Structures are given as structure tokens and as C-alpha cells.
């Protein structure tokens, strides 16, 4: 998968060089490029923002630098701009248009639909994701509308709160999506039974020692009885979900009699 991120703080994305995502980039599983929006400006101050039409507090990100950056990513960008991107990890060379279909442009915004595991799964099979990290009050709506002619446009919130910029939101989504790509997580089995994978939260987990500060691991987990352990774990998932996120239960189907008894 190819991932492009545009930001006025490309250094923010350096964390993606670490751990499993960094390894996936090193191994060529992910082709991750971070672009500095200011490199698509031509004035002395590399201006990316201006005051809002209609008045009000804060500044708005100007349309033109965004259009130039996005055109560059599409492969039709301004001459010379190809030298400005910062590649995280692997050396990927010049930009190329997406192999198949239109790239998906994710515009982090608290005013977007809320990102979740289903969306992460959907995005994990895409060829090319582009993240447009807003700052200030956000990005001029006209360039967002314009981008819908060239990209599969996906405004996306990571939750009902307001951050200072789209970088952290993009990193959240990149991490959630990337770990679903085959080859990013060493053991793909660790992706099953995870919270939100099938609508339930994960069961409580334990490791050695079996007794710690007078607290014992539930005995069933030491029994070696795999069927009983699986049942115990499902029961705890049901209980925890009902307790912490009862809203998730509405979307569950395939509950058997035992499941329903646990939830009563
Ligand atoms: N004026 C905007 C509003 O009220 O909807 C908020 C702008 S916010 C201060 C600046 C940038 O942070 C946004 O353009 C977006 O990129 C990012 N951002 C803030 N909260 C976010 C959230 N919950 N999810 C995704 N991105 C967010």
C-alpha cells in the first residue's frame, strides 16, 4: 500500500518510523511518504493560511498550496516539487499515480464521520491512501470539494473532541489500517479476537507469574482445557462489552442461548 501524508509539521509523522509500521516501511510492505505543505508555496514566508471570509476567530488553510500538493501526489504536480518530499523509511523515488482506481483522500476533521475498525478494514485493502492534515480552523472548503473530482474523498473524525491538527489523527488511522495489512503484524492470529474485530471487546489477559501480589490468574486459564478457556473468554468479552460499551451490543448478531444468558 502507498500512503502519502501532507502536513505543515512533517516531523510529527516521524513516529511512523518506529516499531511495526517502521519495519513494514523498511521491508517495502508500506510505501510511506510525508510531504511538507509549505514546499508548495511560493512566497517569502511560505504562507499556508489566511483570515476567514465572513470574519471569526482563527485562520483558514489556503486552497492553492493544498491543490498543488495533492496534484503532485496525483502525479501531475508542479515542476520541481518532487524534490521536496520527505520519505519516511524507504526510498520510494518519484510519485506515481495510484495503480488502480482513484486514491482515497482522508481529510481528518472533527466534523467528519467517526473512524472505526470497520472503516480501518475497508481502507486496509486500498492501493493508495492520502492524508491531508489540517491545522488552524481547517482547510478552505473549495479545495476539499475540488479534491473530490480526483480522489475518493473521505472526511474522517477520530472522535468527538477537537485536536490542534490532523497529524495525530492521521497517525491513529495509519496505524489502525496498516496493522491489518498482511505482513505488518508478525503473527496474523493476534488480529483475531481483538476488541472491535467482531463487535465485542477483548477478554481480560494475563501473563506470568500465576500469582502476583495475592492476585491469582483465573484458574480456568491454567487448566489446559481449550474449549473451556474459549467459552470463558467469550463470556468475559460479552460481560465487558455489556458493562463498558453497551452501545456495541445492538450491532451484534449470531448470539446463542448461552451468550444471551450471560448478557441477562
Ligand atoms: N474548526 C474545526 C471544527 O470546528 O470542526 C476544527 C479545526 S482543528 C482545531 C484543526 C485540525 O485538527 C482539523 O482541520 C483536523 O485536521 C484536525 N482535527 C481536530 N480534531 C479532530 C478529530 N476529532 N478528528 C480528526 N481530525 C481532527
Structural domain for 203, as ranges: 196-263
For the segment 74-82, the average pLDDT, to the nearest whole number, is 50
158 appears as a binding residue in the annotation? yes
For the segment 96-108, the average pLDDT, to the nearest whole number, is 77
Encode pLDDT of 33-71 as tens digits: 999 999 999 999 999 999 999 999 999 999 999 999 999
Encode pLDDT of 186-199 as tens digits: 888 878 878 999 99
β-partners of residue 128 are 2
What is the β-pairing status of strands 128-132 and 2-7?
Answer: parallel
H helices of 27-140, in order, are 63-74, 117-123
C-alpha cell at 32: 510511506
Question: Is the Cβ–Cβ distance between 262 and 237 less than 8 Å?
Answer: no
Q: What is the pLDDT of residue 82?
A: 38
Indicate whether 143 and 59 sit together in one domain. Answer: yes
- Distance from residue 5's CA to the centre of ligand 1 (Å): 16
Q: Does any ligand 1 atom lie closer than 6 A to the CB of residue 171?
A: no
Burial of 22 (0-12, 13-18, 19+ CB in 10 A): middle
Indicate whether 163 and 254 sit together in one domain. Answer: no
- Distance from residue 188's CA to the centre of ligand 1 (Å): 33
Indicate whether 153 and 213 sit together in one domain. Answer: no
Domain boundary (188, 211, 234) is at 188
Residue nearest atom 11 of ligand 1, based on CA coordinates? 165
Indicate whether 132 and 222 sit together in one domain. Answer: no
Query: Which of 54, 163, 168 is the best mutation target for the ligand 1 pocket, counting ligand atoms within 8 Å of the beta carbon and taking the most?
Result: 163
163 appears as a binding residue in the annotation? yes
- Distance from residue 157's CA to the centre of ligand 1 (Å): 8
For the segment 257-263, the average pLDDT, to the nearest whole number, is 95
H helices of 38-124, in order, are 63-74, 117-123
Encode pLDDT of 108-157 as tens digits: 999 999 999 999 999 999 999 999 999 999 999 999 999 999 999 999 99
Indicate whether 184 and 202 sit together in one domain. Answer: no
C-alpha cell at 121: 478494514
Look over the chain and give the mean of its residue pLDDT values, rounded to a whole number: 91
Question: Is the Cβ–Cβ distance between 2 and 181 less than 8 Å?
Answer: no
pTM of the model: 0.90
Residue nearest atom 1 of ligand 1, based on CA coordinates? 137
Q: Does any ligand 1 atom lie closer than 6 A to the CB of residue 49?
A: no
Q: Which residue has the higher pLDDT, 90 or 257?
A: 257
Q: Does any ligand 1 atom lie closer than 6 A to the CB of residue 35?
A: no
Q: What is the pLDDT of residue 187?
A: 84
139 appears as a binding residue in the annotation? no
CATH of the domain at 241: 1.10.1270.20
Q: Could you tell me the pLDDT band of residue 88, with boundaries at 50, 70 and 90?
A: low
8 appears as a binding residue in the annotation? no
pLDDT at 78 over 80: no
Q: What is the pLDDT of residue 251?
A: 87
CATH of the domain at 90: 3.40.1280.10
Q: Which residue has the higher pLDDT, 30 or 92?
A: 30
Indicate whether 181 and 235 sit together in one domain. Answer: no
Indicate whether 80 and 175 sit together in one domain. Answer: yes
Question: Is the Cβ–Cβ distance between 174 and 131 less than 8 Å?
Answer: yes
Residue 196: strand, helix, or coil: coil
Share of the chain above pLDDT 90, in %: 85
Q: Does any ligand 1 atom lie closer than 6 A to the CB of residue 111?
A: yes
What domain count does the chain have?
2
Sequence-distant (≥ 6) Cβ neighbours of residue 35 within 8 angstroms: 4, 5, 6, 7, 10, 69, 72, 73, 84, 85, 86
Q: What is the pLDDT of residue 20?
A: 95
Q: What is the pLDDT of residue 186?
A: 84
Q: Does any ligand 1 atom lie closer than 6 A to the CB of residue 108?
A: yes
13 appears as a binding residue in the annotation? no
Indicate whether 251 and 146 sit together in one domain. Answer: no
Amino acid at each position: 500500500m502507498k500512503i502519502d501524508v501532507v502536513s505543515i509539521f512533517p516531523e510529527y509523522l516521524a513516529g511512523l518510523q518506529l516499531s511495526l509500521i517502521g519495519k513494514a516501511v523498511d521491508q517495502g510492505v508500506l510505501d510511506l511518504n510525508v510531504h511538507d505543505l509549505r514546499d508548495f508555496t511560493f512566497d517569502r514566508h511560505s504562507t499556508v493560511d489566511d483570515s476567514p471570509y465572513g470574519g471569526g476567530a482563527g485562520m483558514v488553510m489556503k486552497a492553492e498550496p493544498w491543490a498543488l500538493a495533492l496534484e503532485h501526489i496525483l502525479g501531475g504536480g508542479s515542476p520541481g516539487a518532487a524534490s521536496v518530499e520527505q520519505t519516511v523509511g524507504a526510498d520510494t523515488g518519484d510519485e506515481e499515480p495510484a495503480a488502480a482506481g482513484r486514491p482515497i483522500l482522508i481529510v481528518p476533521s472533527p466534523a467528519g464521520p467517526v473512524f472505526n475498525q470497520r472503516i480501518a478494514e475497508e481502507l486496509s485493502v486500498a492501493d493508495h491512501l492520502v492524508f491531508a492534515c489540517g491545522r488552524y480552523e481547517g482547510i478552505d472548503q473549495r479545495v476539499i470539494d475540488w479534491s473530490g473530482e480526483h480522489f475518493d474523498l473521505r472526511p474522517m473524525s477520530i472522535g468527538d473532541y477537537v485536536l490542534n491538527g490532523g497529524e495525530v489523527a492521521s497517525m491513529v488511522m495509519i496505524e489502525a489500517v496498516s496493522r491489518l495489512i498482511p505482513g505488518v503484524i508478525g503473527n496474523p492470529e493476534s488480529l483475531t479476537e481483538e476488541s472491535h474485530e467482531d463487535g465485542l471487546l477483548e477478554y481480560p489477559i494475563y501473563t506470568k507469574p500465576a500469582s502476583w501480589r495475592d492476585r491469582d490468574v483465573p484458574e480456568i486459564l491454567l487448566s489446559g482445557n481449550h474449549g473451556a478457556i474459549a467459552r470463558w473468554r467469550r463470556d468475559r468479552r460479552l460481560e465487558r462489552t455489556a458493562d463498558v460499551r453497551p452501545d456495541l451490543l445492538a450491532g451484534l448478531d449470531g448470539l446463542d442461548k448461552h451468550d444471551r444468558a450471560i448478557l441477562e
